[in-house]
Structure 1
Amino acid sequence: MTRLAPPYRIPPESVVEADHWQMAMEDSHVPMPTELQHWDYLTNIALHRNIRVDVDRTRQRAGLGPDSVLMLSSVWTSSGSNLRGPGRRVRIAGEGVQTIEIAFELTGAELGGTLLLETALVVASPGSSPRPAAPRRSGSVLWNDHHSLRLQGDAPQFPIAVIDFDKTSFPSDAAWHLQISDNLESATMGSLLLLVNERNAPAVAAVQNAERPRDTDKLVLSMIKADVSRVMVEHALRNSDFHEDADFPEDSVGETLMTLVGQLFPGVSITDLRLSHENQPNLFASDVQNAVKLFEVS
């Protein structure tokens, strides 16, 4: 929790009692972890928490009038997509201790990297008779806390879109196509996009059922993972800026590629991988299949 030192009176932290964030998982709710394994961009995230606010003590200790109005607000930020948005805002009038439920669902396609959650109790209206040194501006923060959730998993960590390839320059009967930026320092979220051809029913069904895949979906997803991994690794090895000493920004294309290469070929230098790809490209493709364990589905 962050303790503020603003130029106005604030109440003690004890006026707010906040439960831990809960996450919807199938038919139940579990405490939000610090890391979410096996997450992908097709998976939305539903969150909720209860927060109890002692309205009378908050007004008294902050010097606000009895007709002042408070607001409990939550905001989310995604480091992978550089997006930010409101979770929920609830105005608090009346008296006594009030329990407020903060609940919202975030679209997976808008997320990536680390999800930051900030909850704040702010002044919506100072009322008609605030005391000296009381907060007088709407939006003045009286209390806040921060929580984070690292999103990671084995699935491709970038958006997926289903389109009609017949209306593009891609081969009309191809099943999918990976778009990837040459700028290794650009954000992964805006630089990688897996396009799935809506004309290919098995591929569309597989990505739509990725959260709960059928046996046939698992086989298609295994093929997509192998092909996408090969394209990404080969893309990295063709870029001269991709090497052992490179230092890429967090959640960038370069960091994503570096992580993927490290997972698929642990202990193998990038120099050796580049030589293997240049001298024996067909064997290298088979090496990627072996590394991703093609068709080894649970």
Structure 2
Amino acid sequence: MSRAFPFIRPPADVVIAGPWSYAVADGTEELPRELPDWDYDSVLSIRRPVQIDGLRARRLSGLAEDAEVDFTVRWASRSSALRGRAWRAEVPARDGIEIDIEFDLDGDELGGVLDLDTVLTLRRSTEGASPAAACRPGSVLWNEKFSIVLQGDAVLFPLAIADFHYLPYPTKASWYLEIGEDLDAAALGSILLLANERREVVVNALAAAGAPSVADRRVLSALRTDVQRALIERALTHEDFADDVDYPTGSLGAVLTAVLRMTFPAFSLEALRRERLSEPALFTSRVQDATDLLAAP
């Protein structure tokens, strides 16, 4: 079902956007929907050619010709809960404007699914606009979203391989997710996945996460479900956590909120807490269902 806007929007063809591309060693390549070889130490250098009819967009939106309009690219990482503005340009009141979008994204802020939202927005309306035209700054006149899966089935947080014999964890355990207590602290500094080097099947699956075999996918599926379970349980057991608090962007609290909403959008925080206490087996099965544990690759 299409969304109804409370103001006039121009037709989609006022923006003709070319394909996304990214820099590689010998030039550029079209940006795929998945980047299995991506890692946290990499920088994504992203490019895109765009043609905009700035005058026609204003006229067909009911805006005056001197209205101030911006063209912006916003990014958001679903695993880290970080987001920001990657690029912005003012759109002059003339047609056939050719623009080259260019920006870099640091890998240490990304992970999981990266969303790129391209938007044409009103920055300031002026006199002479139609009563049906957008009037609030930030009103979206045109938009398009592109999503990229980073790492495929790889883990979504910093990872370390260690011998659990020398750590305060069970020696035969396969992994352990360390989660901090400070909900306002940066998530990437508060969450660490430790994999036990004694469990070769796990270490090998993590090493092959960019191009996993069927067996590797099974291991990674179990790992991802358990990581998600651990994050959810930290949210449910942390006495200070609340899902209606506006935690700082990129914080541990923001990540826990995002994971809860993504996994259980139809359940309230209190309902999940009650079920975990009264029906722990059912709660565990619900997490498995929500994360599609061991689904066929």
Compute the TM-score of the two structures, normalised by the length of structure 2.
0.55
* Structure 1 residues 20-44: Cα deviation after superposition (integer angstroms, max 9, x where no partner): 21111223333333x1112211112
* Structure 1 residues 77-136: Cα deviation after superposition (integer angstroms, max 9, x where no partner): 111111111111111123122122222111111111111111110111222221221111
How much has 1:159 moved relative to structure 2?
A: 3.1
1:145 partner SS: strand
Does structure 2 retain, via aligned residues, the 8 Å contact 1:80–1:188? no
Moved over 4 A (4+): 153-157, 186-190, 245-250
Instruction: Give matches, 1:81-230, under 5 Å.
Output: 81-152=80-151, 157-159=156-158, 180-181=177-178, 190-192=190-192
How much has 1:4 moved relative to structure 2?
A: 4.4
1:192 partner SS: strand
Matched, 1:46 2:45: yes
Counterpart of 1:20 in structure 2 is 19
Identity across aligned pairs (percent)?
35
How much has 1:15 moved relative to structure 2?
A: 0.9
How much has 1:247 moved relative to structure 2?
A: 5.6
* Structure 1 residues 219-260: Cα deviation after superposition (integer angstroms, max 9, x where no partner): xxxxxxxxxx9xx99xx9xxxxxx9x946879x9xx7xx98x
Counterpart of 1:32 in structure 2 is 32
- CA–CA separation in structure 2 for the residues paired with 1:121 and 1:12: 12
* Structure 1 residues 256-297: Cα deviation after superposition (integer angstroms, max 9, x where no partner): xx98xx7xxx9xxxxxxxxxxxxxxxxxxxxxxxxxxxxxxx
Could you tell me which amino acid in structure 2 is paired with residue 69 of structure 1?
E
Q: Which runs of 5+ in 1 are unaligned?
A: 162-169, 171-177, 195-228, 237-242, 267-298
Compute the TM-score of the two structures, normalised by the length of structure 1.
0.55
Does structure 1 retain, via aligned residues, the 8 Å contact 2:41–2:108? yes
Q: 1:9 to 1:157 in 2, by over 3 A?
A: closer
Does structure 2 retain, via aligned residues, the 8 Å contact 1:40–1:157? no
Counterpart of 1:211 in structure 2 is none
Does structure 2 retain, via aligned residues, the 8 Å contact 1:41–1:109? yes
Q: What root-mean-square deviation, in Å, do the aligned CA atoms of Structure 1 and Structure 2 show? A: 4.0
2:60 partner SS: helix
Does structure 2 retain, via aligned residues, the 8 Å contact 1:109–1:159? no
How much has 1:5 moved relative to structure 2?
A: 2.1
- CA–CA separation in structure 2 for the residues paired with 1:16 and 1:3: 19
Q: 1:182 to 1:3 in 2, by over 3 A?
A: same
Aligned residues: 198
- CA–CA separation in structure 1 for the residues paired with 2:144 and 2:71: 12
Does structure 1 retain, via aligned residues, the 8 Å contact 2:70–2:121? yes
Q: Which runs of 5+ in 2 are unaligned?
A: 161-166, 168-174, 195-222, 231-280
Could you tell me which amino acid in structure 2 is paired with residue 29 of structure 1?
E
Q: 1:104 to 1:65 in 2, by over 3 A?
A: same
Q: 1:249 to 1:135 in 2, by over 3 A?
A: farther
Does structure 2 retain, via aligned residues, the 8 Å contact 1:69–1:92? yes
How much has 1:180 moved relative to structure 2?
A: 3.3
How much has 1:53 moved relative to structure 2?
A: 1.0
- CA–CA separation in structure 2 for the residues paired with 1:127 and 1:78: 35
Counterpart of 1:223 in structure 2 is none
Q: 1:41 to 1:127 in 2, by over 3 A?
A: same
Q: 1:3 to 1:93 in 2, by over 3 A?
A: farther
How much has 1:188 moved relative to structure 2?
A: 8.2
- CA–CA separation in structure 1 for the residues paired with 2:37 and 2:116: 20
Counterpart of 2:204 in structure 1 is none
Does structure 2 retain, via aligned residues, the 8 Å contact 1:78–1:114? yes
1:47 partner SS: strand
